[in-house]
Amino acid sequence: MVRISRLEQMREIVDRLGFATVKEISDAMGISEATVRRDIGLLDSGGTLKKVPGGVMSLSRSVAIEPSLHARSSMNTDEKERIARAALNYVHDNEHIILDAGTTILTFARLLGELKNLTVITYDMQIVAEISRFQDISLIMAGGMLRRNFGSFYGYFTESVFREIHAERAFISCDALSPELGIMSYTTDDVGVKRQIIKSASEIILLCDHSKLDVKTFMNIAPVSAVSRIIVGKEVSPQAAEALEGCGVQVELV
């Protein structure tokens, strides 16, 4: 397929869907995922489409399209598993921990079953479902307004739960991460919750896969220096890891 024709076809697919993963484009066009990634880079640099974590977003729509929970759950699964297992080193019996929403945090939550007398506070219904299976873990759910397509809560009531507690540690996620712009989110919905979580724990550990480091999104949550440690996949470039360390945080590559 001639490159110009291929790029045009790719743009048409993404414009129709609003957001598409690399695999979705690869399957639709019958080309390799490596070729899709190269072409996404060209379209992004040309201002035709916007590269976002896990895929590409149309710029012909007036509102940014956030990848669905289903799409996110299939992205970088091996890397998320490594990140989750590394995070287990920072949680212990008899502690209180806060778990943010997100698929990497969900992967982490599934590994907590061996811990004793742990208390978990979260606002993500999928994480609630996983943790409720573990008999030795106490669970607090911070309810509020429901983000229906993502299974998490937000708003005043959710934030108020976190204002009333203090945990030894919080494990948080993000939609994008930049040394200059900080920890970022697609929408305003969960920004207040995440900011309150950061205030409500003695130590903040950010779990994020490498795809979050080369994009920018709409809302700033906090500077990178708000966290003490970032656990990220070894797929991240040395330059990106060094830039994050320059913000005064420990970067653990797994």
Give the distance from CA 77 to its chain's centroid.
12
Tell me whether strands 182-185 and 201-207 are parallel, antiparallel or unpaired.
Answer: unpaired
Distance between CA 186 and CA 46 in Å, rounded? Answer: 22
pLDDT of 218 over the 80 cut: no
Nearest Cα to 244, choosing from 187, 170, 193, 180?
A: 180
Mean pLDDT of 57-62: 62
Distance between CA 164 and CA 147 in Å, rounded? Answer: 22
Per-residue model confidence as pLDDT tens digits over 12-22 = 888 776 677 88
Residues above pLDDT 90, as percent of the chain:
61
**Looking up tokens 């606002």, which residue turns up?**
123
pLDDT band at 203; cut points 50, 70, 90: very high
Structure tokens at 94: 């008899």
pLDDT of 223 over the 80 cut: yes
pLDDT band at 54; cut points 50, 70, 90: low
Nearest Cα to 10, choosing from 23, 27, 29?
A: 29
Phi and psi for 66 in degrees, rounded to 5?
A: -85, 130
pLDDT score of 74: 54
pLDDT score of 62: 41
SS (H, E, C) the chain: CCHHHHHHHHHHHHHHHCEEEHHHHHHHHCCCHHHHHHHHHHHHHCCCEEEECCEEEECCCCCCCCCCHHHHHCCCHHHHHHHHHHHHHHCCCCCEEEECCCHHHHHHHCCHHHCCCEEEEECEHHHHHHHCCCCCEEEEECCCEEECCCCEEECHHHHHHHHCCCEEEEEECCCEEECCCEEEECCCCCHHHHHHHHHCEEEEEEECCHHHHHCCCCEEEECHHHCCEEEECCCCCHHHHHHHHCCCCEEEEC
pLDDT band at 73; cut points 50, 70, 90: low
Distance between CA 149 and CA 152 in Å, rounded? Answer: 8
Ordered structural domains, the chain, with CATH: 3-58 (1.10.10.10), 69-253 (3.40.50.1360)
Per-residue model confidence as pLDDT tens digits over 169-190 = 999 999 999 999 899 988 788 8
- Please give the span between the terminal C-alpha atoms of the chain, in angstroms, as a whole number: 37
Q: Which residues pair with 96 in a beta bridge?
A: 119
Structure tokens at 190: 């969960």
Most confident by average pLDDT, 46-55, 76-85, 103-112: 103-112
